[in-house]
Structures are given as C-alpha cells and as structure tokens.
Chain A
Amino acid sequence: MVQGGVWHDRLLMKTLTHPNQNGLKCKETQACDDATQKGSEPIVTSRQHRLESSKHVPVLIEVLLYLRSSIVILFGHLRDFLRAVGIGERKCTRGREKQKKHVQGPAVTFGQHRQEVFEKAPMHVAVLTYLGFGIVTLFGYFRDFLRAVGLEKRNIAQEREEQKDFVPLYQDFENFYTRNLYMRVRDNWNRPICSLPGPVLDLMERVSDDYNWTFRLTGRTIHNVINMGSYNYLGFAENNAEFLETVAEKTRRYGVGVCSTRQETGTLDIHVELEQQVANFLGVESSMVFGMGFATNSMNIPALVGKGCLILSDELNHTSLILGARLSGATIKVYKHNDMDHLERQLRESISSGQLRTHRPWRKILIMVEGIYSMEGSVVRLPELIALKKKYKVCLYLDEAHSIGAVGATGKGVTELFGVNPEDVDVMMGTFTKSFGAAGGYIAGKKDLVDYLRSRSHSAMYTSGMSPPIAEQILRAIKCITGQDGSEEGIRRIRQLAQNTRYFRAKVKEMGFIIYGNDDSPVVPILLYMPGKVVAFAREMLERKIAVVVVGFPATPLTEARARFCMSAAHTKDMLDEQHHARLDFSLENSKTIKLPNPTYAALGRRL
C-alpha cells in the first residue's frame, strides 16, 4: 500500500516535470530531439506533410489533463483499498466442466485432450477495467467537445474543400474509438521492421511528435529484438541462401507473377506439383492451393454452401470465415466457443425445425471451426466434433491456419494431434503463411470436393494463381517437414517447437500470469485485462527488446485484453536459455511489478 503510494507520487512528479513527454518513452523523445537538432533528414511518414505538431496545447487543457491524471491516481488508490479489504481473486473455469452431462450419443474418449482452462478475471480487475474504459471514454467525449468549440486542434485528416457538402464519409461516432482511444496507444501496432521476421528482428525506430497522430522514422534501427509476435512456428522464415536455393532458382526461371487466373492460363506445373504434395502431406485424396489465405476462406465457402444451407460457426472464428459465411448467403448460427453441448443443442433444434419461416429441411449443414484459435490458443475439440458430425450427418469445415505444421507429432495439424482420420473432416483448409513461412492457403479433402471447387470456386476463376517462388517455398517446407529432403531437420523443428511451447507455458504459469489455451498450443495469450496495462506491457517489452503482440477491445471482449506470444522452433534452446529467455524472464518479472500499482500506469506515463 505504502509502496504503491510512493510509486504514484514518483510518476506524478515525472508527469508534472515533463508535461510534454511521456514518462515511458522520454528517452526516445530525447533521441528524436537530438536527431532534429543535428539537422538529419528524418524520413517522414505519409501523413506527416499535412499535419503539424500540436505541442502547444492551451493551458486550460494542461490543467484538465492534470486533473484527469489525478482522478486516475485516485482510482489507483481505490483499487489498493479494494485489495486491502480483501475482494478476493475468484477463479473459475469455463466450458469444459459441464460437457459430459448433455452430450448424448458420441461416446468418444477424450484422453488426449488436455484441460483447457479459461480463468476469469478477478472481480476487482474486471470492475477496474470497466472503470478504466469509462474514464477514457468520458475524456474522449470531453476532448471531442474541446475540439468542437475549437480549443483543441483537430489532427485528423479533413475532407476536401470541394466535397464538404457531401454526406460525411464517416459517421462521427464510428471514429470515436479510433480518435480518442486507439490513437493514444497506436505506437504498439504496425511497427515497421527491416529484417526477416525470424527469431530476432530489426525494428525501425519511429517517434511521434504529436501523440501518435503521425509517426516519423528516425532512420535508426533497433537491432536484435526478440520476435514473439510472428507466426513463424517452424522457423521457415529464414534467409539462409543454401535453404533458399531452390526458391531463388524458381524466381530466376518463372519470375514472381503469374498474370492469369487458375482456370485460364495461370496453372503452372509447379502448382500441380504443390497440390499433389499438399494432399500427400495431409493424407487426403486431393487439394487445391490459392494465393491468399484470407481469400481461401472467403472465396470458397460461398462455392460450398448457399441459400437454404446452415452454417454453425464457433463464436471465435476468424474474420475470413465469417466473411465467407456471410457472402455465401447461408443462414449462420453461432455457438459458444468450443462448447459441444451448445453446438449439439443447436444442431438438434435446427434439424428438427428446418429453415426459418419456410420450415423446409436444410439443404446442407456445415460446422465451421478452427484448429487452433489464434487469440485464445485453444484447440478445437475434434473427436467430439467428428462424433457429432457423424451422428447428425452434417459436414465439417476445419480451418488449420495456426495448427498445420505447428501441432502433431509430424506436424500434420490437429487431426494428428487427436489421432483422427483426416478423411473424416470434410473440408481441410489451412494457410501457408504461418508454419510454412510463405503465403496463400489450401483446401483439401475428397477428390469430388476438390474437383467441384476447381470448377466452381470464385478463387479459381477470378484471382491470380500463386506466385511460383512462394509455391516453391511451400514445397521446400513440406519436403523438409516430411523428411523428403533426406534430413531430420523438419522433425527436429517440430519437436523443438513443442518443447519451447511447453517450457514457455510452464514458465509463464509459474510466474503467476493468467494464460489461456491448450498446453500444446504454440499461441500463448497472457491476460492483462486493463487497457492501460496492455499498452504499458507492450512498450516496456520493447524497451527490453522483445517484440510482442498485444490486443484489446474490439479484437477481444472488453475485459480480456491480452498479450500474445507465438512460439517458434527458431527460438532455439540456446538462445532462449542463455540470453533471451533470461531477459524475457527479467522483463516478465518487471512487468509484474509494473502491473502492481494501478491499472492506468501507462495512462499516466503517456499522459493519456
């Protein structure tokens, strides 16, 4: 309690003495000042030229900002008080406990599936998170008011003079969140890098002179930042010339483009080879590859289902699946994340009552799931799904964007993890962006299905074929994973990834963080809850040269903001253990102390 108080005061002092700088990044700001003094030509970001720095904030606003800081501090004390009176940490699990009671029929043993715990936020944390958002929103309104009466400068790009009398392109409230909340913290996203996205990366240093409205690249590089953000699960994002020899050769031979659609003259021999290899790798009859992972979902689902069909979609499905479902014109019902009980109830209800209004029987029913959910790190409950699917004669669409290559003894994804037959999944979809370090996606399954897609897929008819060097990279990765290149490297990487995942998960748990997801999942979300803390975490980690991904509302529920770590096989034991992991531990420990005082540490630091 006392310590907490001291901490606030120190921070407050800092804020008061450097009103124009943020407490966290004053070093950086100084650096940028140096740079400007030296007269070095800074690289200007695209927005810079039309906006001016807003360093001169009216006095009134200064006063108000201090006022706000003090309110925030008050809430910090309130939280300490709550802790003192002992509003205890309540923990509960969600989803998995009640399952067995209701699921009728499928008698599958779930031996392989480990417990997935979704620990709920302690009560006071939830309350404070809401409060944090409430305060920020209130001040957003207040600043909007100031902007309206002309006391605060409008930094946002303006409509063209000639078009002022058009209907506004954006509704004012649509941009409220962007303008007042996201803008304050947006330095944590879209950080530009200038190296390969391997286990370590080089970040381009950028600073903002106007509270994130614009960024300026200083021209300096932050070297060797540990990369915990990229989906480089098997470490195929690499630039070793020897490994990439075949890719280079294909570039020399084919060039980089295709300049035609698959159905016209955009099917190259390398695509045929790749499709064969993908089908073999997955253990299914046939496959088809597409140039973009997102489009694989959004362009193929409409070819499979349409009007009079039903899609049962997990609530946490990726946007591309949702878009595809929406474009298909099918009825969409959403079931609770990984809740087989809820799914079965919906299935029974839907089949017995038929289509809405007309009550005709459904033409097709498709369950859409992901292998590993990228924000939760949870693994789909495949054996139960397959049992349900067989019982009710419905179809299953499995998106393995994050799981293919990343789980399973030989990297074949969730089907291998659970030991189910890949033929039982009707549509196997996945992307090459993640484990394979390339781009694009595939759909695999029975020959009939793939042939049907070849003639009906929107993607086959209207989009460019896959770039040949990209296709070669995927071929190279598959050959490595399956050992066709005659080495053990692929298997070694898969094992390394599994080892890193377990090690890291155990370590983080040990430190007392709340994490989500399956023990096998290389996606590790660490729950941070409060908006201010999320931002502080990301910035502090960057100070310690670790690049992490943080996400908050609206990408997650309001109270479940989190940081996400993606494991990679390229984070070698040596690297992790000897230096990086030590540093990681250190920073994790530190951020733990940071998170103690109050939820809006960053808010203070950043002057909100």
Chain B
Amino acid sequence: MASGQQWVLVEMVQALYEEKEDLIEEWQPEPLAPILSTESSSMTYDVVTGPPSHKMLINGKQCINFASFNFLGVLDNERVKQKALSSLKKYGVGTCGPRGFYGTFDVHLELESRLAEFMKTEEAIIYSYGFATIASAIPAYSKRGDIIFVDEAACFSIQKGLQASRSFIKYFKHNDMDDLEKLLKEQELEDQKNPRKARVTRKFIVVEGLYINTADICPLPELVKLKYKYKVRIFLEESMSFGVLGEHGRGVTEHFGVNIEDIDLISANMENAVASIGGFCCGRSFVIDHQRLSGQGYCFSASLPPMLAAAAIEALNIMQENPDIFTVLREKCKSVYQALNGIPGLKLVGVQFAPALHLQLERSSGSLVSDMRLLRSIVDHCMERQVALTLARYLEKEERYLPPPRPLSSCFLTVPSGCAVLWAILFTWLHLDPVFSPSSLKAD
C-alpha cells in the first residue's frame, strides 16, 4: 500500500520533469530585433558631410540649415573652437572616470559656478548628456508613492524620468491650467481624507518652458500661483528656452519676470543654444546638492569631456557679452513665423518667438503613414531647393502625446540667428510676401 503510493509519487515527479523538458523544448522566442517593414525608412539617416553650420552638405546637397538647434550660431564660432582647442591641449579628450573618482575637473567646477551665476541661482550641477539631465533629476526626488502632475505634451526625456521615478503620474491637458487645478483640487480632497499619508507624499509639477513638441510656452505665472496655493513644487525643463527667451537668455522665468527662486528646479541641455554637449540643473543648493549623490546620470556616468565644458563656458561668455543676440533671434523668429503663416495646406503651430517652428498638415490625408510620406516629400522638395528642414520624429508606440491633437506629423523649422544672407531662397519658393526682405534680418 505505502510503497504503491510512493511509486505514484515518483511517477508524478517523473512526469513533471518530462513535462518541463518538453515545455523548454517547445518554447520559441520572438527574434530580439523584429524584421522591419520597408515602410519605416528611418533606418537610413540623412548624412551631413562636414559641419552642420548655417550652410551644410546634406546627402551630398548644399543646403541652408533650418534643421539644427544651433539657435545662436555658437556652433561654428571661432572663439568657442579656440577655447575647446586649448582645453584639448591641456586635458586631452576623455575624463576616464565619473565625477566621484577623479573625474571632477577644474573646468567642471568653473562651468557649474558660471551657470549658477548666469541663471542667478545658488548652485548648478552638470550632466554629461542632455537627455540624462531631467531624466535623472526627476527620480532623484520623486519616489514611489509620490505624485507628479505633468503636462501631457512633455518631452521624451521627462517621460523617461517619470517612468524611472515609479511615482504616481497625473497628466493634465497641454497648457490647460483649469485642468491642472482640477487635478490638484481632487488631490487636496484626497489628502484631507488621509492626512497622515499626505504629510509624506511629495507633489511635483513638471512642465517644459518652451515645448519641443508643440513650440508653445508654458503659463509660468499661473503655475507659480498654483504652486503656492496647493503646495506643489515645480520642475521646469528649459532645453528649448534656455539661451533663447528673456532679455539675457535666461529662459522662461526671465521672459515672464518670474522670480527664479519660485521654481524649485530648472534643467536644460547644453546641446541647443549652447551648441556643446551635456545638460545642467540649477536651483537652490538645498535642492540641487541632493543630485550629487542621487542623480544616477551624474554619479554613474563618466563626466563631461573638459573640451566640451570649456566650449560651453565660452558660449556662456558670448551670451553674457552681447545680450543683443537674443533680441535678434526673437526678431528673426517672429519674421519667419509671419512669413510662414498662412501657407495653404500647412498649419504653423506654436508661439511667434519660438526658435523651432512646427509646420503641420492642415488636413490629415487619412493615415499616419501617408501623412509622414507627404511631409517627407515636402522636406525633400525643400532640400532640392537648398533648404534643409527636418521631419520631426517620434516613437509612436512610446510617446504618450503625439504632437498635433489629431495624429499628424510636423516638420521642424529652426531659426538660426547667425545666418541672414540666404533666406531669400526659402521665401521665394514659398511664394512669400516680398515685404519680408532678407535685409531686415541682417542684424549680425
């Protein structure tokens, strides 16, 4: 009897084992990289030969560059290059270590204090890559259980930061303060129900200064009002507005005349207006210093190559020495905006002074794919006429908010402040008003 039972047990184990073997044998994984359909043309990139300055050789064709974020024309500034070269001579190229382990150079300390001084904040911290800046900063403060209110048009690096923080995310409609207030009120009610929990739940609002996805500006003064009303901290991502908006290029805070102390954390990259690599966060030391131990992209990554930091310092010098460039840039943005507005079939979105404008199709041609194809043909058409625009690219599956409300795509048009001479070409092919003369843009 007993031995019989034992035998059954052994058989069962044997059967289980065999079943396991079979299951393992049967399992067929998907390929790691799925074969792409030919439609996704992004496998082949446009290749730029030589520097991507105002005129560039793209796919072997000489074009005027309306596609790079080189807003201030710092990229091919001789002074910046000389600074980078002298830094190269002294420090070589790489830093061979993170900031903690002999990767902190005097140039980094100088750049940090210069940025803090430029932005008029207590402290600044630099990251070695623009993308990693806000993506590391958000999870340094906001943890599991905390609440983040975020504009649904927020850029991809913010989205990744939110995801890494594992906090509770509440999206509000793009630039809709009523919607935000509604969410905040809901949360307030929730907090009253459970005050013990509310005492330890941090709350943040994360917004962009100038949205890269929509080219419009956040209503900062209202946000600050809401901040004090509901006791929520504000994190502001200024990659598109730093070095662009404001009298001295300090960004949205200066543009609106908001006290920079009211913003808990400002982050921006140095890859657009500053035309180097990297990013920074600035604010009060109470806030910023925490990242030196908790910012993953800061602690665990090699520090910024000194020559890039030196170039950024020189770019800051240029920005400080002639604040006129910001006025020039804004004027140019405005004239381009006016010139491009009202092209039949195309819609121009964003604010007038945005340095990167989005051209969208007025009516969708039916599907995203055909829209993309149409826009691509517009970009190609421009390129044949020696004007380089670019198709804004998004990961459709990953993005929460695809730029235009109806899924259309948009072309980027960036306004470099440096070039003035050859604008006529752009405007003539767009059949524009001749009142807009290139000479009006010849400011520098």
Binding site for B on A (CB under 8 A): 46-47, 50, 157-160, 162-163, 165-171, 178, 182, 189-198, 201, 204, 227, 229-232, 236-239, 241, 244, 247-248, 251-269, 272, 291-295, 299, 302, 304-305, 318-320, 323, 326-327, 348, 351-352, 361-366, 392-395, 426-427, 431-434, 436-439, 446, 448-449, 451-456, 458-464, 467-470, 473, 547, 549
Contacts and interface: CB of A to CB of B under 8 A. Distances in A.
A393 B157 CA distance: 34
9 contacts: A46-B112, A192-B108, A229-B97, A256-B277, A272-B47, A352-B23, A437-B93, A439-B94, A439-B304
B160 interface: yes
Given A364-B30, A469-B84, A178 B293 contact: yes
A446 B24 CA distance: 26
- Identify the 8 closest CB pairs spanning chains A and B, nearest first: A452-B33, A292-B129, A294-B301, A433-B302, A230-B96, A257-B275, A267-B45, A259-B68
Contacts of A190: 99-100, 104, 292
Nearest to A348: B24
Given A171-B200, A193-B102, A254-B51, A304 B33 contact: yes
B91 A268 contact: no
Given A190-B100, A259-B52, A265-B58, A241 B289 contact: no
A433 B289 CA distance: 25
Given A258-B52, A259-B271, A265-B65, A227 B102 contact: yes
B81 A251 contact: yes
A367 to B, nearest CB: 11
A464 B92 contact: no
Interface centre among B34, B43, B261 (most CB of A within 10 A): B43
Given A197-B103, A254-B50, A320-B301, 19 more contacts: A50-B285, A171-B200, A178-B293, A192-B104, A192-B105, A192-B106, A230-B101, A239-B90, A248-B85, A248-B88, A257-B70, A257-B74, A257-B311, A260-B67, A265-B48, A265-B388, A267-B48, A432-B94, A446-B33
Given A255-B51, A292-B129, A166 B156 contact: no
Contacts of B2: none
Contact of B100 (A189, A299, A432): A189
B45 A262 contact: yes
Contacts of B43: 451, 454-455
Given A197-B103, A259-B271, A395-B32, A462 B92 contact: no
B24 A461 contact: no
B393 to A, nearest CB: 5
B92 A263 contact: no
Interface centre among A241, A262, A464, A547 (most CB of B within 10 A): A464
B29 A362 contact: yes
B268 to A, nearest CB: 13
Contacts of B199: 167
Contacts of B90: 195-196, 239
Contacts of A229: 97, 101-102
Interface in B24-55: 24, 27-36, 40, 42-43, 45-53
Contacts of A157: 284-286, 289
Nearest to B75: A255
A198 B228 CA distance: 50
Contacts of A231: 96-97, 302
Contact of B20 (A171, A263, A292, A348): A348
A434 B96 contact: yes
A436 B94 CA distance: 8
B113 interface: yes
Interface in B118-153: 122-123, 128-132, 141
A433 B129 CA distance: 13
A94 to B, nearest CB: 25
Nearest to B29: A364
Interface in B185-240: 198-203, 228, 231-233
Interface centre among B40, B50, B96, B198 (most CB of A within 10 A): B96
Contacts of A366: 32
Nearest to A395: B32
A159 B286 contact: yes
A229 B95 CA distance: 11
A257 B311 CA distance: 9
A380 to B, nearest CB: 19
Contacts, number: 372
B201 to A, nearest CB: 6
B53 A265 contact: no
Contacts of A232: 96
B184 to A, nearest CB: 14
A239 B89 CA distance: 6
B12 interface: no
Nearest to A198: B92
Interface in B69-91: 69-70, 74-77, 80-81, 84-85, 88-91
Contact of A241 (B89, B108, B233): B89
Interface in B241-255: none
A159 B233 CA distance: 12
A174 B400 CA distance: 32
Contacts of B45: 262-263, 267, 454
Contacts of A263: 42, 45, 393
B132 to A, nearest CB: 6
A433 B157 contact: no
Given A437-B93, A455-B40, A461-B395, A194 B105 contact: yes
B312 to A, nearest CB: 9
Interface string B300-313: 11101101100100
Contact of B30 (A259, A363, A439, A456): A363
A269 B89 contact: no
Contacts of B50: 253-254, 268-269
B140 to A, nearest CB: 10
A392 B368 CA distance: 39
Nearest to B129: A292
Nearest to B306: A196
Given A46-B112, A364-B29, A462-B157, A437 B94 contact: yes
A170 B296 CA distance: 17
Nearest to A449: B33
A52 to B, nearest CB: 14
A238 B113 CA distance: 27
Contacts of B112: 46
B175 interface: no
B287 interface: yes
A192 B305 contact: no
B280 interface: no
B436 interface: no
Nearest to B127: A292
B307 A256 contact: yes
A405 B67 CA distance: 36
B290 A268 contact: no
Given A267-B45, A363-B29, A436-B94, A461 B393 contact: yes
A196 B85 contact: no
B271 A464 contact: yes
Nearest to B398: A458
B403 interface: no
Given A260-B67, A462-B157, A464-B130, A239 B109 contact: no
Given A230-B96, A244-B93, A455-B42, A291 B106 contact: no
B359 to A, nearest CB: 14
A184 to B, nearest CB: 14
Nearest to B262: A162
B371 to A, nearest CB: 17
A197 B303 CA distance: 12
B120 to A, nearest CB: 14
Given A192-B104, A262-B45, A439-B94, A449 B80 contact: no
A169 B287 contact: yes
Contacts of B276: 256-257, 467
Interface centre among B28, B34, B90, B106 (most CB of A within 10 A): B106
A462 B155 contact: yes
